[in-house]
Structure 1
Amino acid sequence: MRRSLVLVATAVLLAGCSGGGTAEPAQSGGPASAAKVTLEWWHLSTTEPMKTLWATRAKEFQAAHPNVTMKLTVLENDAYKAKLTTLTQSGKAPDLFATWGGGVLKQELDAGLVKDISDDVAPVLGDFTKASLAAYQFDGKTYALPTDIGMVGFWYNKRLFAKAGITAPPATWAEFLEDVKKLKASGTTPIALAGKEKWPGHYYWAYLAMRIGGLPALQQAGVDHDFTKPDFVTAGQQLKALVDLQPFQKGFLGAGYGTPDGQAATMSNGKAAMELMGQWAPTVQASSGKGLGGDLGFFPFPTVDGGKGAITEAFGGGGGIAVGADAPPEAVEFVKFMTEKGNHAKAVESGGVLPVLKGEESAVKDANLKVVAESLASATGFQLFLDQAYPPAVGQEVNDSVAQLIGGTKTPQQVVDAITEVAKSE
């Protein structure tokens, strides 16, 4: 799952990482002839159904490999990012760890923390969709396998839209702003936002930049490290136009994503009409609040009049599993085990992840997730989350500066200047 909630109380949390597994000779007469190995696995699936499913996969792997002991560390998104920073600086990595690919994985690769698994997984690469693999491959080599892919869009409460007299989801940004006004006039909070966690806010600026400048603008910025071009400034201005309408719930600047009074719960309990979130939103909503059932709908981020981007261009990401540079061979076997069609299809059927393997589409049961899957299948372009596509320091500055724009302490020009300054220093 791309974004997680709270630490799982029952997870095995480790003070450090072993960086290459722990091995000892097998006891004589034991069931396995191989040396005993402990595989340390860091992942982000803190909510159901994936929390239990991933724990089950680990137990199944242990049962099939009696010499292996799995040791799980389960972390919330921001805590994991902090741990990754320490990991990169330490020069050590766990045997298996969650990755979003893109610039973050590339930095870990450059630091010598990630194993090249190209040869080991070559026989199964053809089973994956092209879009799901792209974020984990560099220069023709593979450094992780995907477990999820998806896109960000607006999840909305059909009942609250109808109450406000909105008969169809907005297709343009101008219509979206008008609908925000209608929702406020009906006494409904238009949008739930986890302002404290910052990453949810960056979705607005990133999508607006895509719709205004088109995908090439974001791709070029990754090359020339220049975010000061007019389309990026305009994206900030359009986001400010939304912020000026005061669309978010009371106290949003201090709200988390999955906390009892956070973004997902606010949406799930019918206290806001929309949230801009990834494909995991229905699962998190269900675990955080009452759930909306048949009142929950989905629509893609609107186009911007005069913009170069198309509504069929998707913004999102997914998750994968990377192998530490010094991990034993069993770690690679576990990655392949996790992504076998029979195992992965169960995760898709649960609604916790979307297909990454060809032919898994029929396993998607939830009607809203089918809409997301179909949107991805027909997408004419795809942009990875900016806090993953770019190097970590640049991604963090995007999150921080956009949060300050939403909070009213930075102007659109100051946002692009700050991101550019960090990008050019990398």
Structure 2
Amino acid sequence: MTTPNLSRRTFLGAAGATAGALALSACGSDDETPPADDNSPQTINWWHIQTTEPGLTQWATMAKAYEAANPNVKINITPLENEAFKAKLTTAGQAGNPPDLFQSWGGGVLSQQVDAGLVKDLSDSTKAWTGDLLPASLQPYTVEGKLYGIPWDVGMVGFWYNKDLFAKAGITAPPTTWAEFLTTVSTLKSKGVTPIALAGKDKWPGHFYWAYLAMRTAGLDALKAAAESKDFNTPDFIQAGAHLKALVDLQPFQKGFLAAQYDKPGGQAANMGNGNTAMELMGQWAPVTQTSSSASGKGLGDKVGFFTFPAVDGGKGSATDAFGGGNGFCIGKNAPPATVDFLKFLLNTENQRTAAGNGTLPTNKSASDAIKDPNITTVSTTLASATGFQLYLDQAFPPAVGAEVNDAVAALIAGQSTPEKVVQAITQVAKSQ
């Protein structure tokens, strides 16, 4: 299997068009969604990871609206925390019984689900309305020219920071190089400010650091070549780990970070939202989750800022290459006919405008005018100028390889591994596939 990688040639014709497309008007009619063709009683089992507000209530409200318009359809929703979702979905897949509708990030995980016959080909059934969606957002859900998932949002990972804590430490501008970033961390610590919030227990937030450093040090082409050759044991990838170890050695994370989860009480988002830490490396959803996880329910407000991952001096990668992805949905092989119709309903302009108003960068081009959050606008603008794009490594690579990236990097961050052992472990798993 060829490992999906959204490189300069594939994503950026689209990602470069992303922000431009955001200004376009609707490409088609947004008439009320017709009822499902099959009027027999149908139950849709929907699994997703929106366990916090506003997403939790937002999607439940949309499901109720669809049920009201289609009395023959019942939607059972199961919200799950990220890691619990992945584990439960894996078990369901191994049993050959995937949920009818489930959250997906595309990439290598989706490719294996396609190979296993677990998901439906949506190429024909959604053709009438997927033209209204941003072309870039469809890429991770396209396998060998066929569409197996529908993107709900799109975005990228970057550093979110507390402007007040930066000012307290006398830092007047975000760092632009990795050396400057390490100096920023040291300066924050010297002023009694905890530099970085990290959900060490979840592991996936930690892999963001190694992934970006690999991109900056080795470059996107090297990541693609390593995925194809199944060999990550190269000097550049070892150097990426060395750069991360230099950060870890500064002890920049909050107390108890190894046991912290992303969106749980006392976790990464809460530490940021409560103003206890100065930075976090996270996706475009960060400000919303910071707010919902904060004790006040108000988060940082206009105190939160955004900057892209710094350049690495002497690195082969471009500082304008972006890393991230989006949330989307796939339909299980045994899903009832109404599931495709419900998915179309979720992606209509009205529902996507609701999401945009709550801090989401929508994929429906006609919903972009509802974006109110200046931080989301910043992400959109940054994506528009990106020169390349890499999907999350734990999604772009086959599941076992992606999981090993998370595990190996987590061990390095915990002080239990070395840069050399990280690439050796990833390579060993890749070659076993």
Q: TM-score, normalised by structure 2?
A: 0.89
Q: Distance in 1 between matches of 2:227 and 2:427?
A: 10
Q: What is the correspondence of 1:313-332 to structure 2 with a 5 Å cutoff?
A: 313-332=321-340
| Alpha-carbon separation, structure 2, partners of 1:55 and 1:160 | 36
Residue of structure 2 equivalent to 1:388 = 395
In structure 2, distance between residues paired with 1:174 and 1:360:
40
Write the distance in 2 (CA, Å) between the matches of 1:341 and 1:214. 37
1:136-285 equivalences in 2 (<5 Å): 136-285=141-290
d(CA) in 2 for partners of 1:129, 1:202: 27
Q: Of 343, 347, 358, which aligns to 1:339?
A: 347
Q: How does 1:62-73 map to 2 (within 5 A)?
A: 62-73=67-78
Could you give the per-residue CA deviations for residues 103-148 of structure 1, whole angstroms, max 9, x where no partner exists? Answer: 1111111111000011011112221112111000011110111001
* Aligned equivalents of 1:96, 1:184: Cα separation in 2: 45
The structure 1 residue matched to 2:370, chosen from 363, 368, 374, is: 363
Aligned-partner Cα distance in 2 for 1:152–1:221 = 22
Q: CA deviation at 1:94?
A: 1.3
What is the CA–CA distance in structure 1 between the aligned matches of 2:48 and 2:121, rounded to whole Å? 20
Residue 312 in 1 paired to residue 320 in 2?
A: yes
Q: Which amino acid aligns with 1:72?
A: I
- The match for 1:403 among 391, 406, 410 is 410
Listed one character per residue, the Cα deviations across residues 26-72 of structure 1 (whole Å, up to 9, x for unaligned) are xxxxxx98211111111111111111110111111111111111111
CA distance in 2, matches of 1:263, 1:160: 16
Match of 2:52 in 1: 47
Give the aligned partner of residue 310 of structure 2. Answer: 302
Instruction: Give 1:361 shift.
Output: 2.8
Letter in 2 for 1:331: T
Per-residue deviation, 1:317: 1.1
Amino acid of the residue matched to residue 375 of structure 1?
T
Which letter does structure 2 place at the counterpart of 1:310?
Answer: S
Unmatched 5+ stretches in structure 1:
1-31
CA distance in 2, matches of 1:337, 1:424: 42
Counterpart CA distance in 1 for 2:264 and 2:64 is: 29
Cα deviations across residues 173-208 of structure 1 (Å, max 9, x unaligned)?
011011111111111111111111111110000000
Once the two structures are TM-superposed, the CA of residue 386 in structure 1 deviates from its matched residue by 0.5
SS of the aligned residue for 1:422 comes to helix
Deviation at 1:342, TM superposition (A): 2.1
State the AA in 2 paired with 1:236.
G
CA distance in structure 1 between the partners assigned to 2:38 and 2:381 by the alignment: 47
Q: Does 1:103 align with 2:105?
A: no
Is this contact kept in 1: 2:331–2:339, CA < 8 A? Answer: yes
Give, in whole Å, the separation in 2 of the partners of 1:195 and 1:249: 10
Tell me how far 1:338 sits from its aligned partner: 0.8
Return the offset for 1:93: 1.1
| Percent of paired sites with the same residue | 61
Distance in 1, Cα, partners of 2:204 & 2:401 = 13
Q: What is the identity, as a one-letter code, of the residue corresponding to 1:292? A: L
Aligned to 1:404, the other structure's residue is in SS state helix
Task: Kindly provide the amino acid, as one letter, of the partner of residue 391 in structure 2.
Answer: L
Which range moves more in the overlay, 262-271 or 177-186? 262-271
1:363 is aligned with what amino acid? A
If asked which structure has higher relative contact order (CA below 8 Å, sep 6+), I would say: 2
Q: 1:159–1:33: structure 2 CA closer, same or farther, 3 Å change rule? A: closer
Of residues 349, 352, 358, the one that matches 1:350 is 358
Code of the aligned partner of 1:278: G
CA distance in 2, matches of 1:379, 1:292: 27
Aligned to 1:127, the other structure's residue is in SS state coil
1:70-122 residue CA offsets vs partner (Å, 9 max, x unmatched): 11111110000101210221111111111110011111111110000110111
SS class of match (2:131): helix
SS at match of 1:108: helix
CA distance in 2, matches of 1:128, 1:214: 29
Counterpart Cα distance in 2 of 1:94 and 1:39: 8
Shift of 1:229: 1.4
Q: Structure 1 residues 34, 312: closer, same or farther in 2, change over 3 A?
A: same
Correspondence for 2:134 among 99, 110, 129: 129
Deviation at 1:312, TM superposition (A): 1.7
Where 2:125 maps in the other structure, the secondary structure is helix
Whichever residue aligns with residue 371 of structure 1, its letter is T
| Structure 1 stretch displaced more, 147-156 or 257-266 | 257-266
The 8 Å contact of residues 353 and 368 in structure 2, kept in 1 or not, is answered as: no
Question: For the structure 1 residues 344 and 99, does the alpha-carbon distance in structure 2 shift closer, same or farther, using more than 3 Å as the test?
Answer: same
Q: 1:327 and 1:196 mapped to 2: Cα distance?
A: 33
Shift of 1:360: 3.2
Shift of 1:358: 2.1
